[in-house]
Structure 1
Amino acid sequence: MTLLRDHDLARAFDHASRTYDRLTALNPGYRTDLLRSARRLRLPDDGAGLHVLDLGCGTGASTRALLRAAPRARITAVDASGGMLRQALAEPWPDRVRFLHLSAEELPTAGEGPFDAVFAAYLFRNVTDPDAVLHSVRTLLKPGGRLAVHEYSLGGSPAQRALWTAVCQGFVIPAGTLTGDRALYRHLWHSVLDFDAAPDFTGRLTRAGFADARALPLAGWQTGITHTFVARNGPVPAAAGPARQSFAGTAAAPVPTVEAGR
């Protein structure tokens, strides 16, 4: 199967956006695991005075997790799917949260940042060039800033691949077929099988210049299937310009900033 990318993937998420939260709610531990990963950023003082990027925020479940983990932080949440963002904006948000319709690839030229921390949930296996996106994250992240990636990334054993395939074929794809989104959920199945195993993504982070990269397991049936990857920004790449001081911490068309605080 050819994986969905760029505009095709954004359109698939647009179509699935109305039923997406109902389907993910059937996954035991989905929101609990997001919160656990957000807390692994270990932001001090409930995030007071910090600016956090939620990269690939979808319908806002990851943004809610960040709000609970760092209730005093300022959060900028971005996604390439306008449909997913509309679902996010249907809920009330505090003034310190805003949403932007931007892809991960567009963000470095959008005049946003710098950020004290970046949270990316279910993003990297969906981008065409994960190394380029990691480079962009480093240019947006302050020196020493913290990164947490919450992602399906198999531990590498045949049993984990078999379990993932069984779950997708027995439940995820049939459920997605009923909502008219079979292509998206087949993409989910194959994107996880094709993505880095946990040790490989940890190595990718290190090669991209992140320090102290680690893969942390999550509990429940997704143990060995979903991980939190944590790291901190190393020296700023030359292309990013002068170092900033901080705490020791083909895209969808851009739309004007959408402010949330209703």
Structure 2
Amino acid sequence: MTRSAAWDPAGYLRFADERARPFTDLLARVGAREPLVVVDLGCGEGALTASLAARWPGARVTGVDSSPDMLAAAAAHAVPGRVEFVAGDVRDWQPGAPVDVLVTNAVLHWVPGHAELLRRWAGRLAPGGWLALQVPGNGRAPTHALLADLCRSPRWAGLLADAAPAADAVLDPAGYLEVLTGEGLAVDAWETTYLHVLSGDDPVLGWVRSTVLRPVLARLDADDAAELTAEYAAALREAYPPRVDGTTLLPFRRVFAVGQAGASR
């Protein structure tokens, strides 16, 4: 029986500092001064969404997510009249009013063809409004390539071939720049490779359990999930060997783009 691909807030927060840094770097390039409507699409467990209200005290901040588990965790960060969290799929989301700052952080790699979403969202910005996105750009890294190879191997292809992570799930910075400039936004796009220093047993496996491995394991029963995880863990240990001090280095590429609509939009 296939299990639900539920998100695990606790597992995701195991690496909270490492996952927060790209969000901070992204928002550092957003120059909004006194926005009134701020939306975080794919808000997760809500801590980073709440930080937007701290930055812009006059804004009404809304976090949108499709995961009941993440929204349950996010409820702890809600502030009546200031910060709210609502259930919704980013593919269907429509704002009730023009948006001053729209943020989507580590979400769009789950959405095939998301360039069209970005075009739609750009059209819902207020005059002078900002759109800020960050996506993991490591689809060709061993974390993903090894898992894709496993999914397509003779042992697993019948169950997992169509669940293999795609190497081209996101655009490069120039691709996002072209999409957003095509909608009339002034765009800053870039990429950064973070070098995370992880500790503990099989730390890279621990990292991917709450991300790219999650939907794969959801296809399997408990015995098959344990077998695949053991095979994947062995491959990850070879690709990311521990250092002399016991830590493990995980290079992690991320792609960013920030666009501002014209004042006359």
Alpha-carbon contact 1:35-1:65 (below 8 Å) kept? no
Alpha-carbon contact 1:125-1:191 (below 8 Å) kept? no
* Cα deviation 1:12-33 (Å, max 9, x = unaligned): 2xx22343433433xx532132
Alpha-carbon contact 1:152-1:192 (below 8 Å) kept? no
Distance 1:70 1:191, change over 3 A: farther
Q: What TM-score do the two structures reach when normalised by structure 1?
A: 0.62
For residues 227 and 166 of structure 1, the distance between their equivalents in structure 2, rounded to whole angstroms, comes to 17
* Cα deviation 1:97-137 (Å, max 9, x = unaligned): 111111122222xx622211101101222223313311331
Once the two structures are superposed, the pairs formed by residues 99-110 of structure 1 within 5 Å of their partners are 99-108=85-94
Q: Which amino acid aligns with 2:8?
A: S
Distance 1:129 1:52, change over 3 A: same
Matched, 1:36 2:25: yes
Alpha-carbon contact 2:39-2:61 (below 8 Å) kept? yes
Q: Which amino acid aligns with 2:79?
A: P
Distance 1:83 1:224, change over 3 A: closer
Alpha-carbon contact 2:187-2:260 (below 8 Å) kept? yes
Partner of 2:46: 60
From 195, 216, 222, the counterpart of 1:221 = 195
Alpha-carbon contact 1:143-1:234 (below 8 Å) kept? yes
Secondary structure at the residue paired with 1:36?
A: helix
Once the two structures are superposed, the pairs formed by residues 8-47 of structure 1 within 5 Å of their partners are 12=5, 15-25=6-16, 29-44=18-33, 47=34
- Which one has a bigger Cα radius of gyration? 2
Q: Decide which structure has greater helix share.
A: 1
Partner of 2:99: 115
Q: Which amino acid aligns with 1:94?
A: V
CA RMSD of aligned residues (A): 3.4
For residues 42 and 34 of structure 1, the distance between their equivalents in structure 2, rounded to whole angstroms, comes to 15
- Cα displacement (A) at 1:55: 1.0
From 65, 69, 74, the counterpart of 2:55 = 69
Distance 1:87 1:215, change over 3 A: same
Distance 1:151 1:62, change over 3 A: farther
For residues 115 and 191 of structure 2, the distance between their equivalents in structure 1, rounded to whole angstroms, comes to 23
The runs of at least 4 aligned residues of structure 1 exceeding 4 Å deviation read 166-170
Alpha-carbon contact 1:35-1:68 (below 8 Å) kept? no
Q: Which amino acid aligns with 2:102?
A: V
For residues 168 and 15 of structure 2, the distance between their equivalents in structure 1, rounded to whole angstroms, comes to 19
- Cα displacement (A) at 1:146: 0.7
Q: What TM-score do the two structures reach when normalised by structure 2?
A: 0.61
> How many equivalent residue pairs?
196
- Cα displacement (A) at 1:229: 0.7
Alpha-carbon contact 2:46-2:77 (below 8 Å) kept? no
Moved more, 56-65 or 116-125: 56-65
